Structures are given as structure tokens and as C-alpha cells.
Amino acid sequence: MPPRINNVQALRGFAALLVVLGHTRFTLPRTIPFGPSGVDIFFVISGFIMAMICNRNPEKFFLRRLIRILPLYWAATLGVYILAMLAPNLMKTTRAVPWELALSLLFVPFFKESGTANPILFVGWTLNYEMFFYVVLAICLAVNRKRAPLLASVVIFVTILACRPFRGRWGFTSLYGQWLMLEFVLGMAAYALVRATTEARARRLRWLAALCAVVAAFGVPVLEGLPQFAALNWDRLIDWGLPAFVLVLSAALLSKGGADTRVQFLVLLGDASYVIYIIHTYVLDGMERLLVPKFPALELSTALGSFVSLAFVTLLSIGIYLWAEKPAVDWLSVKFGTRRIARPEVKDPAESMA
């Protein structure tokens, strides 16, 4: 595999923009809002890259995950908490409650007064999944480095089965009792398949992989937006998790077969995807409150409004990534000695991203 899988990195940007699009509530004729499936792509990518790191460079695994996740997430969480304290009328379900802040910062799922299981930072529910995955994988690495992904897969499956009977009773059982967590396992399986594929075979499979990638990339949001498909009420893992697995697997096979994207903007978009995901709901809310009343044509759910909001979120996120997030992560990596270790060949998502 190449030293850096640009295809997979670019998919992170694609997934982030899908989520943003979903929160603009933009629809095509005879469709419903689509875009949340970007989270599923994030989770599969996370499983893929964590399996790669376990294989190539697992030293200080959990510390490196913390350095990657915490600075932006904690800063955003504290920012929202302070805003909720100073201007509670601007918030919807978020309150300035100290114990909710503590649980949010520690990635402990809980029910809000509104009944939702989101932390103070609305999109942080996906990071609760990510952090759980990192903890499980770190423990499994300590037990058996070679078989850590397999052990983690078993732990995740058993956790889901143990929590499912108690969904709705506690925040953590409601969150960790979802089949959605198996998307991390799908990602690790995708890495195992790519690793087992020779470069020669990957080159022979390039056209098939390209076709599968295109169908999955466009098929997921299209199906997501069809009310007839949504009415089937299948589990999210089947609806979006399996197509996300096909998408990530195909993109990685294309890379191994020599068809890795060289469009640097797409790679940069992937680099900034964590920032995009963390800030986008608040940027969109600000635009809706401040910009749309003055310029009704920019209503977020319209084609023009969604395009402008996507562009603004993207540019703002790239700026924050280049001038704030990346320098902070680089400084912490040097400070805690993780930069001296050989960097993984693909940047890991925060998933998330999701």
C-alpha cells in the first residue's frame, strides 16, 4: 500500500460534507433530507485506519488518539457550555449543568432533560462511539498486539448483545446497544481484505473497484433520500453501513492498485473533516439566525443556500485546521513524545468524525 492512502483521506471529506448537507435539510424533488449516512462512512474509515495503525505502528496508541481528539472537542464543548451559561435563550436542548459538562468531557453517555442522549456538543455522540472503540482497541493491544482487531471485534459484538435488552434505561446502554458499532468491525475487515490483496490483483480489480466506489458513493445518499426506501425501516447498519464498507474497501483497493487521487484539495478536505464535523451545526445555526433573515434566498434548505453554507463551513474549517487545530496537535505530539514515533501511513479520523 502507498505511504498515504489519499483515497481514504478524501472520503473523510466526502463524509463530512454529506453530514453538513443533511443538516441543511436540502432535498431533491420527491426526496427527504439526506446526509447522515456520512457518519457511517466515518465509522467504517475509523475501523479501517485503526486496524492499519495496530498493524504498523501501535506504540502509544491511546495517547495519540487522545491528542488527536481532545483539543478540538474539549475547546468546542467548553465554548458551547459557556454560551449556554451566558445566553441560554440561544440553546435548544443544551443546559449549563456542571455534571453534564463533566460527563461530556469524559465521553460518558447520558440522557439530557429533553430525553436525547447527546452530550453538550450536539455532534459529540459519535465521539462517544469513537472513544469507546479506542479504549477497547487499546486494551486489546495490551492483551495481544497481533490479534487486537479480532479481539476488539468480539468485545464490540458482546457489548452490543449485553446492552440491547437495556436500551432506553441508561445512556450508555442506549448508545452501545446499537448495531451501528459493528461499522468499526466492518472497517477493520476492509483493512484485512486490502492487506491480503496483492498489488497485482488490486491493479486487475481497478475497474471493478472504481465502479463499486462510484455506485456506493452516489447510491448511499440517493437511497437515503428516497421515502420509499426509508419506509422499509431497516437497521442503519444494513442501510448505510454495508454500502460504506463497499465504498471504503473499493477506495483502498484503488489506491493499492495505483489509482490514488492526487487532487490535493480533496486530501486537505479530509484533513479538515474533523473540524467540519465539530463546528458545522453551530455555523449553520448562526447563518440561519443572522444571514437568512437579511437574505431569504440563502435559506439553507434551498440549492443556493445549501451550496453557500457548504462552501462557508468548508473554508472556515480549513482555516481553523491549518491555523489552530493542526498546530495544537503538532505541539502536543512533540510535547508528549508521540511525534518521534513513525507516523501512521494514513491520518486517522475522529470521527469523528461522525
Task: Say yes or no to pLDDT of 314 above 80.
Answer: yes
Read off the pLDDT of each residue in 115-135 and give the average, rounded to a whole number. 93
Work out the number of other CB atoms within 10 angstroms of the CB of residue 154. Answer: 13
The DSSP code sequence of 18-53 is: HHHHHHHT---TT-----THHHHHHHHHHHHHHHHH
Is residue 2 very low, low, confident or very high in pLDDT (cuts 50, 70, 90)?
low
Read off the pLDDT of each residue in 87-94 and give the average, rounded to a whole number. 81
Read off the pLDDT of each residue in 151-165 and give the average, rounded to a whole number. 97
Contact 273, 12 (CB under 8 A): yes
Read off the amino acid at residue 285: D
Q: Name every residue whose Cβ is closer than 8 Å to that of residue 102 and which is 6 or more positions away in sequence.
A: none
Rounded Cα distance between 231 and 120, Å, is 31
Determine if residue 115 is left, alpha or beta; phi over 0 gives left, psi from -120 to 50 gives alpha, anything else beta: left
Residues 234-238: contacts with CB under 8 Å, at least 24 apart: 235/179, 236/40, 236/178, 236/179, 236/180, 237/179, 237/180, 237/182, 237/183
pLDDT digits (tens, 9 = 90+) for 218-247: 888 878 888 877 777 778 888 889 999 999
Task: Say yes or no to pLDDT of 37 above 70.
Answer: yes
pLDDT at position 348: 44
Contact 117, 175 (CB under 8 A): yes
Task: Say yes or no to pLDDT of 291 above 50.
Answer: yes
Alpha helices (runs of H) in the chain, residue ranges in sequence order? 6-24, 37-56, 61-86, 98-105, 125-143, 148-163, 171-176, 182-196, 199-204, 206-225, 227-230, 236, 242-256, 264-271, 273-290, 303-320, 326-335
The DSSP code sequence of 284-308 is: HHHHHHHTTTT-GGG-TTSHHHHHH
Determine the distance from the C-alpha atom of residue 256 to the mean position of all C-alpha atoms in its chain, rounded to a whole number. 23
Task: Say yes or no to pLDDT of 176 above 90.
Answer: yes
